[in-house]
Amino acid sequence: MVTWNNLDTLDAFQNLTKADRVDLAEVMSGENGAERVKNYSIPMAAGLTYNYAAKQVDEKVLAALAKLAEEAQLTEKFQALYNGEVINTGEKRLVLHHMTRGQLGDAVCADGVDKRTFYVEQQTKIAEFANKVHAGEITNAAGEKFTTVVQIGIGGSDLGPRAMYLALENWAKKNNVFRMEARFISNVDPDDAAAVLNSIDVAHSIFVLVSKSGTTLETLTNESFVKDALKNAGLDPSRHMIAVTSETSPLAKSDDYLAAFFMDDYIGGRFSSTSAVGGAVLSLAFGPEVFAQFLEGAAKEDQLSKEEDVLKNPEMLDALIGVYERNVLGYPATTVLPYSQALSRFPAHLQQLDMESNGKSVNRFGDPVDYPTGPVIFGEPGTNGQHSFYQLLHQGTDIVPLQFVGFKNSQIGTDVVIQDSTSQQKLCANVVAQIVAFACGKTDENLNKNFEGGRPSSIIIGDQLTPQALGALLAHFENKIMFQGFVWNINSFDQEGVQLGKVLAKRVLAHDTDGALKAYSDLMNI
């Protein structure tokens, strides 16, 4: 029997608050630190490793976290989710994004169909379409191949797919599987669409319109912008556009599109990179086989998330340590720092994934909670961030936990030796140095040069950023966020916070305004 209780009512949480604090600088110094680095690791899928040696935990804290996981019924709640219970209480919906990459438990039927079968059918349709585009069987009106794919979407229809594309672009080129350049239009700012359209050959471009409802204002506005550009170039827009939407949307059976691929209400936008939302653009860009490898990595990581033993479940442990940092140690933010340029947009995706999911102040039943929930998420790739905001992270008044991601080898496989080391070695040296610098600090009589240390971090380490590794990395953070939502007893799968601004914007455009809304509208000449 699964029960849903607030964090502050759990005995295990009260015991966690009483656990002795760990002196991170002390335990990470000398041989103690060397032993921790070796022992505080969990294997992940696709050859990745989650290392939490530089977190403020020890055996007693870890035991208390395990008790919290047990009392909060994290394993049982995950089982309820993937077996098709209504976990999204705000919208009274199932939560099925895991099923786009594999079936973790029972068959789930909804809308009169087996959902795993539905998702596989969409992936098959996308693969067949992409293969025909690559083979020149589907062409523009002149019979010429498409060379560019442009995704039109916003929020989860943009951030995740864009981050995944950029993560694999160089890998695909190196491995001779790069099929088409991908570009993305998201912002309703006309400068965004214009910049993309001015940089591509529209006659050889295929556009993917992504809107579950078929009514998303920003996306439909950008679609009209693109259609005008195609018409002005003497092209028929219907020969250049496909739709990713729901089966009930006005886009589903429209003659305005070459094809339509379907998603459903059981996959939130921020969790949609492994659905048709990511599948269409990534399959066109890299080929369906690469997208399948991406799904495989995510599916294998999902399997690890089923593990009951916290010390064998990297997502659950990462989540619990995050709860400890937020609710016991009082840290307000977390920064994500991939030491990989390919992951340059991954922190932006995680901002939405985490903050839109767990930025809640009421529990699953609509009652206010009396404890902090989701942290502020931000980040940039290393080493760029070191020359930006690391000053505050090292010596600022707030302690901000850090989540590093690093790979032993680059995607391109070639490098140069400069000053007795390669670029990749310099990159790896920097991430290693930062972990120890944050944890151990440095004492100096000049307080301006003194580093207190005690700043916690974890790192996910891999051999190389491949499609499988990317899938595993994505699933790790998706499941971490899910587990944290369970612990906080909030609904991580709706996003009412994005609605109010949309409603007011429609009033502004309809000139139905008064008070401050009218005054600001006048300032902007609307």
What is the DSSP secondary-structure string of 247-298? TTSTTTT-TTSS-EEEE-TTS-GGG-TTSHHHHHHHHHHH-HHHHHHHHHHH
Nearest to 501 by CA among 484, 520, 473: 520
Q: What is the CA 149 to chain-centroid distance, rounded?
A: 22
Non-local (6+) Cβ contacts of 341 within 8 A are 381
Helix or strand run (H / E) with residue 245:
strand 241-246
Active site residues: 356, 387, 502
Q: Report the DSSP pairing between strands 148-152 and 181-185.
A: parallel
Instruction: Tell me the C-alpha distance between 71 and 3, whole Å.
Output: 10
- Name the phi and psi angles at 240, rounded to 5: -125, 5
Look up residue 239 and give its two tokens. 């020969």
Instruction: Tell me the C-alpha distance between 489 and 483, whole Å.
Output: 10
Non-local (6+) Cβ contacts of 168 within 8 A are 282, 286, 290, 294, 342, 465, 467, 470
SS3 at position 429:
helix
**Helices (DSSP H) in 339-466: which residue ranges?**
346-358, 390-395, 423-440
C-beta contacts of 326-329 below 8 A and 24+ residues apart: 326/372, 326/373, 326/375, 327/7, 327/13, 327/371, 327/372, 328/16, 328/17, 328/19, 329/21, 329/56, 329/399
Instruction: Tell me the C-alpha distance between 383 and 404, whole Å.
Output: 11
Going by the DSSP 8-state scheme, the letter that residue 94 receives in this structure is -
Helix %, strand %, coil % of the chain (to 5): 50, 15, 35
Instruction: Tell me the C-alpha distance between 466 and 451, whole Å.
Output: 36
Helix or strand run (H / E) with residue 323:
helix 314-327
Residues 367 and 492 sit within 8 Å (Cβ to Cβ): no
Q: Which residue has tokens 């307080």? A: 447
**Helices (DSSP H) in 83-157: which residue ranges?**
115-135
Helix or strand run (H / E) with residue 171:
helix 159-174
